[in-house]
Amino acid sequence: MEIIRPNFGENGNFFKENFLAWNLLYVYPQSLNFANRQGSARNITVKVQFMYGEDPSNAMPVIFGKSSCPEFSKEAYTAVVYHNRSPDFHEEIKIKLPATLTDHHHLLFTFYHVSCQQKQNTPLETPVGYTVPLPGMKWVDNHKGVFNVEVVAVSSLHTQDPYLDKFFALVHALDEHMFPVRIGDMRIMENNLENELKSSISALNSSQLEPVVRFLHLLLDKLILLVVRPPVIAGQIVNLGQASFEAMASIINRLHKNLDGNQDQHGRNSLLASYIYYVFRLPNTYPNSPSPGPGGLGGSVHYATMARSAVRPASLNLNRSRSLSNSNPDISGTPTSPDDEVRSIIGTKLFHEELALQWVVCSGSVREAALQQAWFFFELMVKSMVHHLYFADKLDAPRKNRFPERFMDDVTALVSTISGDIVSRFQKDTEMVERLNTSLAFFLNDLLSIMDRGFVFSLIKTCCKQVSSKLYSLTNPSNLASLKLDFLRIICSHEHYVTLNLPCSLLTPPASPSPSVSSATSQSSGFSTNVQDQKIANMFELSVPFRQQHYLAGLVLTELAVILDPDAEGLFGLHKKVINMVHNLLSSHDSDPRYADPQSGRQHSTFSTESSRSLLICLLWVLKNADESVLQKWFTDLSVLQLNRLLDLLYLCVSCFEYKGKKVFERMNSLTFKKSKDMRAKLEEAILGSIGARQEMVRRSRGQLEINFIAFFPLIRSRAEIEHEALIDGNLATEANLIILDTLEIVVQTVSVTESKESILGGVLKVLLHSMACNQSALYLQHCFATQRALVSKFPELLFEEETEQCADLCLRLLRHCSSSISTIRSHASASLYLLMRQNFEIGNNFARVKMQVTMSLSSLVGTSQNFNEEFLRRSLKTILTYAEEDLELRETTFPDQVQDLVFNLHMILSDTVKMKEHQEDPEMLIDLMYRIAKGYQNSPDLRLTWLQNMAGKHSERSNHAESAQCLVHSAALVAEYLSMLEDRKYLPVGCVTFQAGMYEAVNEVYKVLIPIHEANRDAKKLSTIHGKLQEAFSKIVHQDGKRMFGTYFRVGFYGTKFGDLDEQEFVYKEPAITKLAEISHRLEGFYGERFGEDVLEVIKDSNPVDKCKLDPNKAYIQITYVEPYFDTYEMKDRITYFDKNYNLRRFMYCTPFTLDGRAHGDLHEQFKRKTILTTSHAFPYIKTRINVIHKEEIILTPIEVAIEDMQKKTQELAFATHQDPADPKMLQMVLQGSVGTTVNQGPLEVAQVFLSEIPNDPKLFRHHNKLRLCFKDFTKRCEDALRKNKSLIGPDQKEYQRELERNYHRLKEALQPLINRKIPQLYKAVLPVTCHRDSFSRMSLRKMEI
């Protein structure tokens, strides 16, 4: 008989621990072969019985019955297979096994032949075979297997694994003191039990995984019990702690590796986590159990932890049980009575102590396995410690007395070695070290609740010290620093973090929302000692006393300071992480009901996780919740530098919490939606990409796809959610800015009586003005204006004498709010502006400064603001005028008249804005208008400067950086000119001529003007900055050589009365680099087509001179031509670099081909060319991007001159391609093909044949003929050089191509030879004395005419 035992452990679905008791056997008869049996055996059935003896009456009623049958029966039959001597069976027979199995229990299979037609005196069923040999029976097929059956045991009582069976059997024998132990055919005597037990523990790692999982809890219980209660075998205590620990480490590590999908979010195996949480208890703490362990193990007399009894003789060597070591009982002390020795063992053999000791002393693969799953041993140790405190009634004991010193020493050694592993292995075993670091941090977090906190702080200090020492020696410390941040984050997540940071023991911790082991017994903590009160200022410095008194907070803030240090190398990527750590600490503290003010009813909103916002929220939270007197004391003790740094932080807070507006959220949502639609389309395309049934199925289930995509893209928010988010953002912005405003007022109150108030008040005003410039709520602005008026009223000299630039800024902010659409804001802004004028007038009987600043501010506002409302501003100006007229105190002074003059000037400036709005969409016309307005303010330099700055801003918006720089340099030149008028200093530039600007090379020229000024002022800092910028500029020139591209230029002519002043005007437009003719044509055609109508505008496609008489007077015409910078020959000597050829450009050229009969193109001998040279009124780059053409001249080239130009161009191309470095083979071959290729139309050969075949009759053409001949000589020489260069560059695959080029070249050279060797005799006659003046410009080819 063949029995098949399937291995169910191959499938991970069977890896489940036993929670219920079952003991079943499934029997599956499969096949029978009676082909060789003699006799009638065709209709065969099999009877199955479970026997407890040999007698037929010993069949047990344990076979589960089928439906409509008794629950249990003694036998089961298979179905009859008709007339088949070798039948197959398909039945399942389920048997309930007895709990205790003996050698007498067995399965009995009986085979019957069933008669289909019952004969007289013949039984219906005839036995034809048995699986058990009976007397007088013989084998069916000579001992060959004829019956196949499959047997499957499903049991929570039997492991079905030989290694586990042996281990449990030996442990059970120890418990029951049953010797010898029989395991299968092996008998183990008591004197050999120790070796067999140790070998069985070592062999546990060889057991199958499936039974290990099912019996995991029992297995771990037995191993832990062997650690805690070493057995006594043959009168000797057997120490199995080390072997049991090694087995536990191996089994746990194996479970993690093979069941990696069975882990929680922290990477912990759920089987092991459930064991710790639900199953594990200290062996001597089970209720209602006299024994110290499960199953009675350790409850008998055969363990050294129990007293003597009659079962075991008193002569056992119990004096060995008293030891100085938990793991080595051979290190003995002075023997006492056996009972005392037993009590000593009971008191010292605690699992957490043994576990710590075994972990410290282990090494090799065992230690590695323990490190891999450190979380399990740490959590097991913590639970053992907590159970020990609870059952030993030590929860109320002082923390220092809870655990013995030797255990604390073991914990210290363990933490130290694991910290060393983290430091030494973080670069090699990244994933393992991350888990180990997290596990250690959670372990120390747990110890803070149950051990002396001074001791735990010393452990934390040990870890941090080892990490810090390693950090100093690393060039890239970010990975290790990140581990340290994770370590601190976990430790600081303790529920009593605030109490742990309190320096005084008199402050007891509040009640815990989720009480752990009592934390109120921490009075004996090492950090709970009375300390002398420190000054309040010391609380705000990261000093050594602060870090000692607030240990955990000091560690966190130290890391924050180190990582945010600008000089810290390699830590930039950790900014967000460390800021979020601080932010999360404060957020959890803020939402903790134990520290909430029951009367405040504060609401807690979810803040953004963005790093800068998180850190600044932390600052604002402290400023809001700190007592005002504490802040005043702090501000008083801060230095001027520190106070200014605080004001800088408040400035950043204003920017960070500016209200974005609902439109921003809607735009972000639309972008998210667009991105999700793109992702959805790609996903659908990937799914629907296949052909056939799958495609149809997906198409039919589109409704289901819609549901799935909603789950995939939850970021798409509804309108209500967007409005809610915008509301929260607005409330947050208002709250943050009100906190800032309150802080500023406290700063002003604090420093107003100090000597250094001027420098501080300037910073306060800067923050205040910045908040007025940002988007703010009406509520905040009302308070802000009130604070501003109080500040100006109390310290008027601050604005009018010291911070003059901020006076201008204040005027600009007030004017902007005077144009607000909200009447309340306009009223406050008008009042603030009027009081500003009034206070300035009271100082010196005029308010010239404010008048000038307001005028400049309005000019700047109308030139730059897009949302400027002219009508609302006029209403505010009328309000200010009314204030002046009704001011009784100043009615008799000149103040009302001065206000009226100012308002009149402001109305004039507003009128200019109307014209600007008309040309808002035409950038060139807008710049021209601003240019005219600036020139109109020649008598008002301040306003002229303002409009130049407005022009610079407009240019910057369009990325015209060179023109923007020109505007700023013109402004600087204007200031220089006025300074030279006021005082004559030799180091000051005289007038505007000294200034030039543009691009990197021009930086040097600008600084040549500035350097003498700073040298005269002995300003080393600014000189250092200047030379640094010069070095940067020159480095960019070197590195970007050949990579820079400047502007592209076009001639644009306007024709038609519809253009008004632009009619018959020609301009040169400067466009960004690589702008195509079609691009500017499309832009101008689109703009003017929209303005005049597409049917009215017409673009002239050619570049020929325009005859206005032939144009339709009812239409508007634009002619656009690409032009290039033009230089005379003598200019090229100075314009060497690419920058030289693209800077200070006033002359431009474009060419127009024509023939005498009116065609644009003709044969070589009739092809003329017109060169048109344009001169502009100013040089590019200028403060405008289009400049008028003031002069135009034309040069007509004859056909032979056109040919000379073409050949010179080809020769230059050849020379450039030949000497290019690095060489470009493709470019070289392309130029060569165009020069010597046989298929080139109007190529060099044709040019030579047309113009060099005959000597011209006209003597004026002799020199042109000779010049062309020399051009061809140079051309053939360049072709030869290019061929030689190409030969050195090509590979073997292009050799044939090279030979073809050389053949073409030789054919070309032979054809050209007679043509280029023919000289004109008249040019080589003897030189005669010159008898007349020679006019080289009287040639027919150089006819010039000015237009």
According to the model, what pLDDT value does residue 1339 have? 41
Q: How confident is the model at residue 340 (pLDDT cuts 50, 70, 90)?
A: very low
Cα–Cα–Cα angle for 231, 254, 21, rounded to 5 degrees? 65
Cα–Cα–Cα angle for 920, 926, 931, rounded to 5 degrees? 150
Give the closest residue to 285 by CA, choosing from 377, 379, 387, 385: 387
According to the model, what pLDDT value does residue 410 have? 92
Q: How far apart are CA 148 and CA 1346, in angstroms?
A: 117
Q: How far apart are CA 888 and CA 900, in angstroms?
A: 16
Mean pLDDT, the chain, integer? 75
In tens, the pLDDT along 1209-1242 reads 889 888 888 888 788 888 888 888 888 875 554 5
Beta-ladder partners of 332: 323
Region 873-896: mean pLDDT is 83
Give the closest residue to 1084 by CA, choosing from 1121, 1110, 1109, 1045: 1121
Burial of 135 per CB tally in 10 Å (0-12, 13-18, 19+): exposed
Q: How far apart are CA 832 and CA 781, in angstroms?
A: 12
- Which of the two residues, 155 and 331, has the higher pLDDT score? 155
Q: How far apart are CA 1271 and CA 1276, in angstroms?
A: 9
The type of residue at 619 is: L
In tens, the pLDDT along 1173-1217 reads 999 988 888 878 888 898 988 888 888 888 888 888 889 888 888
In tens, the pLDDT along 553-572 reads 888 888 888 887 777 776 77
Region 565-585: mean pLDDT is 78
Q: How far apart are CA 712 and CA 1222, in angstroms?
A: 52
Give the closest residue to 256 by CA, choosing from 209, 295, 217: 209
Q: How confident is the model at residue 75 (pLDDT cuts 50, 70, 90)?
A: very high
Helix, strand, coil percent values for the chain (each to nearest 5) = 55, 10, 35
Per DSSP (E only), the strands in 449-585 are: none
Q: How far apart are CA 101 and CA 24, in angstroms?
A: 12
Q: How far apart are CA 966 and CA 773, in angstroms?
A: 27
Q: How far apart are CA 747 and CA 697, in angstroms?
A: 71
- Asked if the model's pLDDT at residue 1102 lies above 90, the reply is no
- Which of the two residues, 601 and 614, has the higher pLDDT score? 614
- Asked if the model's pLDDT at residue 1149 lies above 70, the reply is yes
- Asked if the model's pLDDT at residue 668 lies above 70, the reply is no
Q: How confident is the model at residue 481 (pLDDT cuts 50, 70, 90)?
A: confident
In tens, the pLDDT along 879-889 reads 888 888 888 88
According to the model, what pLDDT value does residue 73 have? 92
According to the model, what pLDDT value does residue 378 have? 92
Q: How far apart are CA 989 and CA 995, in angstroms?
A: 8
Region 1291-1306: mean pLDDT is 88
According to the model, what pLDDT value does residue 892 have? 80
Q: How confident is the model at residue 302 (pLDDT cuts 50, 70, 90)?
A: very low
According to the model, what pLDDT value does residue 980 have? 52
The type of residue at 222 is: K
- Determine how β-strand 1097-1100 pairs with β-strand 1116-1125: parallel
First-last CA distance in the chain: 121
Q: What are the two backbone dihedrals, phi and then psi, of residue 38, each rounded to the nearest 5 degrees?
A: -80, 150
According to the model, what pLDDT value does residue 1219 have? 87
According to the model, what pLDDT value does residue 982 have? 46
Region 480-485: mean pLDDT is 88
User: Any idea which residue has 């050698």 for tokens?
Assistant: 103
For residue 7, the tally of other CB atoms under 10 A from its CB is: 9
User: Any idea which residue has 């004498």 for tokens?
Assistant: 801
| Helix pair angle (823-844, 870-885), 10° resolution | 50
Q: How confident is the model at residue 29 (pLDDT cuts 50, 70, 90)?
A: very high
In tens, the pLDDT along 313-337 reads 332 232 333 333 333 434 344 444 4
Task: Determine the 3-state secondary structure of 906 from DSSP.
Answer: helix
Q: How far apart are CA 66 and CA 141, in angstroms?
A: 34
- Asked if the model's pLDDT at residue 1268 lies above 80, the reply is yes
Q: Which strand (E) or helix (H) includes residue 1191?
A: strand 1186-1197
Q: How far apart are CA 178 and CA 193, in angstroms?
A: 11
Gyration radius (Cα) of the chain, Å: 50
- Asked if the model's pLDDT at residue 194 lies above 60, the reply is yes
According to the model, what pLDDT value does residue 603 have? 42
For residue 336, the tally of other CB atoms under 10 A from its CB is: 12
Q: What are the two backbone dihedrals, phi and then psi, of residue 960, each rounded to the nearest 5 degrees?
A: -90, 75
Residue pair 381/355 in contact (Cβ under 8 Å)? The answer is: yes
Task: Determine the 3-state secondary structure of 125 from DSSP.
Answer: strand
Q: How far apart are CA 294 and CA 137, in angstroms?
A: 50
Residue pair 851/904 in contact (Cβ under 8 Å)? The answer is: no
Q: How confident is the model at residue 167 (pLDDT cuts 50, 70, 90)?
A: confident
According to the model, what pLDDT value does residue 1067 have? 92
Q: Could you give the percent of the chain with pLDDT greater than 70?
A: 73
In tens, the pLDDT along 430-448 reads 888 898 999 999 999 999 9
Chain-centroid distance of CA 630 in Å reads 39
Q: What single DSSP character describes residue 1343?
A: -
In tens, the pLDDT along 381-409 reads 999 999 989 888 888 888 888 899 999 99
Residue pair 1237/1210 in contact (Cβ under 8 Å)? The answer is: no
Residue pair 533/503 in contact (Cβ under 8 Å)? The answer is: no
- Asked if the model's pLDDT at residue 690 lies above 60, the reply is no
Q: Could you give the percent of the chain with pLDDT greater than 90?
A: 9
In tens, the pLDDT along 831-861 reads 888 888 888 787 765 666 777 777 777 766 7
Residue pair 1029/1006 in contact (Cβ under 8 Å)? The answer is: no
Give the closest residue to 1006 by CA, choosing from 973, 1046, 1039, 963: 973
The type of residue at 394 is: K
- Asked if the model's pLDDT at residue 341 lies above 80, the reply is no
